[in-house]
Amino acid sequence: MHNHSLLIELEAAQELLSKVMADAKSDRNKSTDRELMLLDLRGENEYKEGHIPGAVNFPVSLLQDPDSDRGALPSLETLCERFTQLGIGNELPLILYDGSGLVPSAKMLWVLEWLGRSNVSILNGGFIAWSTAGLATETTTRAATPQPFTAHPTAAALASKEQVLAALGQDDVVIVDARKAEEFAGLLPTAARNGHIPGARNINWESHIKDLFDPTLKPLETLRSLYHAQGVTPDKEVIVYCRSGARSSHSYFVLRLLGYERVRNYSGSWLEWGNDTDTPIE
């Protein structure tokens, strides 16, 4: 069964946003950010050049600890403070979009799900689809009203190195490497040691979308077949990883969209695994 609520198509998003804006115009005391939040995960300069009307900017770089040498997430306290100031709160319907193949949006969705936040969807095709369709944009910088964000972390969405080690060789767990084939084979140096986690299946995240210039997802049945062909089935627990946990969040998103209930993102990914001389590699 597909989890369709995690994805919103262009026409549906346009219709929903038009309704919200129309309601706001008819009632001057009604604020659009009380009904729906549209979140632009692109950089600040890209946002200022033009964005979907009503969108608030949250560069995906804010999901990264600047002091980490492997792109780790900021502290839980920092994340909650940033989400509070942005006005995300815990209940408002949230639509995410970006201009980088949906990876930033997928990372945000994964973080929010890890922290217990639901009612989040990703715009299929992102800003590229919106602009290609010739839909309206604006340059007005939008500031959201702060809304308290309370985290309810769940272990179900996040995998640690120790948990990955414990999963090796387990029949009911499958590990998916979301990197390019050259990285998987160890031909492209990205850490002190190169290769992949033993037993991992290589399914490049880019195989989810038409291409980088049209990052619309392929049909869901095509994506389901892609994973089934590699033995990645809904009856198993799936752990996904890449180099730093960003691209693998795209795999997390797609698997959740396909209805997989047990999916975890190994956020440490290859930068942690490949730089640890005690972890096994192939």
* pTM, full prediction: 0.94
Residues in the chain: 282
Tell me, yes or no, if 242 is annotated catalytic.
Answer: yes
Give me the pLDDT at residue 27, please: 47
In Å, what is the CA distance from 56 to each residue of 98, 144, 148, 235? 12, 7, 17, 38
Q: Which domains occur in the chain, in start order?
A: 4-132 (3.40.250.10), 155-273 (3.40.250.10)
pLDDT in tens, 143-192: 888 999 999 999 899 999 999 999 999 999 999 999 999 999 999 999 99
Asked if the model's pLDDT at residue 47 lies above 50, the reply is yes
Residue 123 contacts residue 40 (beta carbons within 8 Å):
no
Percent residues over pLDDT 90 in the chain: 85
Percent residues over pLDDT 70 in the chain: 93
Count H helices and E strands in the chain, helices first: 10, 12
Is 4 or 272 the better-scoring residue by pLDDT?
272
- Number of Cβ atoms within 10 Å of the Cβ of 6: 20
In Å, what is the CA distance from 142 to each residue of 38, 99, 105, 208, 276? 10, 18, 19, 32, 43
pLDDT in tens, 193-248: 999 999 999 999 999 999 999 999 999 999 999 999 999 999 999 999 999 999 99
Set 122, 175, 178, 242: catalytic member:
242
pLDDT in tens, 15-46: 988 877 665 555 444 444 458 899 999 999 99
Give me the pLDDT at residue 24, please: 55
Q: Which among 240, 281, 280, 282 has a CA at the least distance from the CA of 258?
A: 240
Give me the pLDDT at residue 34, please: 59
**Cα separation of 6 and 61, whole Å?**
22
Enter the DSSP assignment of 62: G
In Å, what is the CA distance from 86 to each residue of 16, 28, 38, 257, 263? 21, 22, 11, 26, 27
Give me the pLDDT at residue 3, please: 77
